[in-house]
Amino acid sequence: MSHVAHSTTTTTARTERSATASKAYAAFLGIGLVLLIVAPLFFYPIFLMKLLCFALFACAFNLLLGYTGLLSFGHATFFGGAAYFTAHVTKEWGVTPEIGILIGVAGAAALGLIMGFFAIRRQGIYFAMITLALSQMFFFFCLQAEFTHGEDGIQSVPRGHLFGFIDLNDTTSMYYFVLAVFLIGMIVIWRFINSPFGMILKSIRENEQRAISLGYSVARYKLGAFVMSAALAGLAGGTKALVFQFATLTDVGWQMSGEVILMTLLGGIGTLIGPVFGAGLVVTLQNYLATSQFPVTIITGVVFMVCVLLFRRGIIGEFYASRLGRKLGFEHRR
Amino acid sequence: MTMIFGIPLQAFMGQLLIGLINGSFYALLSLGLAVIFGLLRVINFAHGAQYMLGAFVAMLMLQYFGINYWFALLLAPIVVGLFGAVIERLLLSRLYKLDHLYGLLFTFGLALTIEGTFRYLYGSSGQPYAPPPALTGATNLGFMFLPNYRGWVVVVSLIACIGTWLLIEKTKLGAYLRAATENPTLVQAFGVNVPMLLTLTYALGAGLAAFAGVLAAPVYQVSPLMGSNIIIVVFAVVVVGGMGSIMGAIVTGYMLGIAEGLTKVFYPEASNIVIFVIMAIVLLIRPAGLFGRDA
């Protein structure tokens, strides 16, 4: 998705503005962190952990869509695939949770390497269709493979002891473990998009032809971003498998890939923190509707259409573009 | 009993026929996708939902108004086509100036909404729709029994495919369409109502999907999920064929349907992934697709 660079502001004004912006950012970050630490006192911890997992998943997805301009319709493969891997190795091999999650991440990265290898051969909507088709293939694989137990999924996965001595069956320990995973994931994403590598990705998003003519091997950068995004989605998926103690076909289905797109779109494509809000809204909505008879799909579909038609910047994007956002020095694009 | 590659001829021909039937639906649907994409530059994710709508409209018309199969085959595409025209006029047309991905996301939302609504109203399980009395029974071809309805599906979908191809390649309307694909501004300057052309095209694509849906209703069951099950496979078909040519979409649809059917004979476990595997191989050898011009 192409973005138009902000050319009107002068360089000095921009530095001043981004100084206030980074102050505002730091303030919001501090408040957010405190809220996350005290949250289990006020909310159901399982719900919060689910939220954190999906928030990380959406941010990992946004790394690809928002910062590289590639729309993957197959991210459920990495999320759900990692959930299967983590669940399998912790249950059958009896490894500790952190090793289990790392194996999940490695598996997701490997899947990302394979899918990315094929998908980056085409661009735009073809890229979306190829990722969708390959992830459907993985879905059928999971349906038939032995270790996933087909329709039943992998049930009663042990949470185990973190590093061998912290009992994660204790909900509070588990919550802070998930929070730590989430924060590590976010720091990695933040570092990644502000690295030279991330800058090149943004240049590919803005103008792929120019990036090629500057001598960058665009395909390799795209593949790198794809694998990175897949690995982080795997981090979220593996953690989720330990939270809920199961891994099922739901996590690898195309609906899940659609859900993560919605979270990102709703929160704000190409904003670091937007997908967290998008995920929060979607997960809350699902929880709320789970008790009623009304199907979630209809709401999801309508929200999708409304977002695309009227609300393309997403919540955080709109905030950045609002008067208050601009006063605080945030830049909005498009 | 006659054997072919160690498989009874009956079973072989049976699977080949199923492959041909599936191929007919792939061809009809990927044709519609290609027609819409050619002019609107939108990948119509709701194509599967429109296919499902066609089947449902036919079934509901029978239940509530006693409208039989033959009229349904004519009316359901018109109903769904009109629905498509309204959607295009009111909503989809606002997205043409944006990145093409927004069109994909919008139609994805539309597909979810339609599918969700029908699941809410009719449940997830399939409902039978009887083939018309004139086409029940089977014909003995000497080497196998061909159910008449299935033979009809193959013939009529082939006619529909060729008809659409002729419409686009050989008629004046088709010429406008192709011209508008190349350069909409110039065509508009010549006094052709391009926005109307876009609406017509989307309606035509949606109508084709609904036509396929009515044809499919007696073969498979009428279920809210029938659309999303097939659309992902059709996307793979479109990636293999490339959307540059109408004929390419048709040929690829039939080819992959048959390939799927044959896989069911020789290696059943792989039958639901074979099309995706073929897609991956084609991407390695010819990234632009077999008939594709644009990458």
Give ipTM to 2 decimals: 0.87
Domain assignment present for A291:
no
Q: Is A310 on the interface with B (CB under 8 A)?
A: no
Parse chain B into domains and list their residue ranges. Answer: 15-285
A217: phi then psi, degrees, rounded to nearest 5 = -85, 90
The pLDDT value recorded for residue B44 is 92
A51 within 8 A of A181, measured Cβ to Cβ: no
State whether CATH 1.10.3470 applies to domain B15-285.
Answer: yes
Domain assignment present for A176:
yes
DSSP chain B: --EETTEEHHHHHHHHHHHHHHHHHHHHHHHHHHHHHHHH----TTHHHHHHHHHHHHHHHHHHH---HHHHHHHHHHHHHHHHHHHHHHTGGGGTTS-HHHHHHHHHHHHHHHHHHHHHHH-SS-B--PPPGGG-SEEE-SSSEEEHHHHHHHHHHHHHHHHHHHHHHHSHHHHHHHHHHH-HHHHHHTT--HHHHHHHHHHHHHHHHHHHHHHHTTTS-B-TTHHHHHHHHHHHHHHHH-TT-HHHHHHHHHHHHHHHHHHHHH-GGGTTTHHHHHHHHHHHH-TT-SS-S--
Domain assignment present for A311:
no
Confidence check: pLDDT of A328 > 80:
no
Q: Is A304 on the interface with B (CB under 8 A)?
A: yes
Domain of A15, in residue numbers: 11-253
State both tokens at B35: 């027609």
Q: Is A136 on the interface with B (CB under 8 A)?
A: yes
Range of A15-24, A265-274, B206-215 with top mean pLDDT: B206-215
Pick the residue from chain A with its C-alpha nearest to B268: A144
Q: Which residues of A touch B96 (CB under 8 A)?
A: none
A166 DSSP 8-state letter: E
> CB–CB of B280 and A136 under 8 A?
no
Confidence check: pLDDT of A240 > 90:
yes
The pLDDT value recorded for residue A333 is 54
The pLDDT value recorded for residue A312 is 85
Q: Is A129 on the interface with B (CB under 8 A)?
A: yes
A41 DSSP 8-state letter: G
> CB–CB of B276 and A297 under 8 A?
no
Domain assignment present for A120:
yes
B139 within 8 A of B145, measured Cβ to Cβ: yes
Angle between helices A274-290 and A45-68 (to 10 degrees): 140
State both tokens at A273: 């923190």
Q: Which residues of A74-105 are buried (b: 16+ CB within 10 A; e: fewer)?
A: bbbbbbbbbbbbbbbbbbeeebbbbebbbbbb
| Domain tally, chain A | 1
Q: Which amino acid is at A280?
A: G
Q: Which amino acid is at B161?
A: C
Residue A205: count of CB within 10 angstroms of its CB: 20
pLDDT digits (tens, 9 = 90+) for A280-306: 999 998 888 888 878 888 988 998 899
What is the model's pTM?
0.89
> CB–CB of A308 and B279 under 8 A?
no
B72 within 8 A of B230, measured Cβ to Cβ: no
A252 DSSP 8-state letter: G
Residue A56, judged by CB atoms within 10 A of its CB (0-12, 13-18, 19+), counts as buried
Confidence check: pLDDT of A334 > 70:
no
Q: Is A134 on the interface with B (CB under 8 A)?
A: yes
Taking CA B251 as the corner, what is the angle to CA B112 and CA A131, rounded to the nearest 5 degrees? Answer: 40
- Paired strand residues for B147: B138
A156-195 residues touching B, CB cutoff 8 A? none
Q: Which residues of B touch A118 (CB under 8 A)?
A: 280, 283-284
The pLDDT value recorded for residue B160 is 93
pLDDT digits (tens, 9 = 90+) for A24-38: 888 888 898 888 888
CA distances B82 to A124, B143, B195, Å, are 29, 44, 15
The pLDDT value recorded for residue A8 is 39
Best of A257, A297, A310 to disrupt the B interface (most B CBs within 10 Å) is: A297
Closest CB to B112 among A124, A300, A308: A300
Query: Min CA distance, B143 vs chain A (Å)?
Result: 34
Q: Is B239 on the interface with A (CB under 8 A)?
A: yes
> CB–CB of A125 and B110 under 8 A?
no
CA distances B265 to A320, B13, B219, B251, Å, are 58, 10, 20, 22
The pLDDT value recorded for residue A319 is 83
The pLDDT value recorded for residue B208 is 94
The pLDDT value recorded for residue B147 is 85
Domain assignment present for A322:
no
Q: Which of A20-24, A156-160, A248-252, B103-107 has the lowest mean pLDDT?
A: A20-24
- Paired strand residues for B3: B8
The pLDDT value recorded for residue A11 is 45
B262: Cβ–Cβ under 8 A, 6 or more apart, which residues? B15, B16, B19
Q: Which of A36-45, A132-141, B193-202 has the lowest mean pLDDT?
A: A36-45
What is the full per-residue pLDDT of chain B (295 aa) written as tens digits? 566 666 777 778 888 888 899 999 999 999 999 889 888 888 899 999 999 999 999 999 998 998 888 999 999 999 999 999 999 999 988 888 888 889 999 999 999 999 999 998 988 888 888 888 888 888 877 777 788 888 899 999 999 999 999 998 899 988 998 888 888 889 889 988 888 999 999 999 999 999 999 999 998 889 998 998 899 999 989 888 877 778 888 999 999 999 998 888 888 888 888 999 998 888 888 888 788 665 4
Confidence check: pLDDT of A5 > 50:
no
Q: Which residues of B touch A130 (CB under 8 A)?
A: 239, 279, 283
B221 within 8 A of B59, measured Cβ to Cβ: no
A230: phi then psi, degrees, rounded to nearest 5 = -65, -45
Would strands B7-8 and B3-4 be described as parallel, antiparallel, or unpaired?
Answer: antiparallel
Closest CB to A123 among B111, B120, B295: B295
Domain assignment present for A283:
no
Q: Is B167 on the interface with A (CB under 8 A)?
A: no
The pLDDT value recorded for residue B2 is 65
Confidence check: pLDDT of A189 > 80:
yes
Task: Measure the CA–CA gap between A1 and B101, rounded to whole angstroms.
Answer: 7
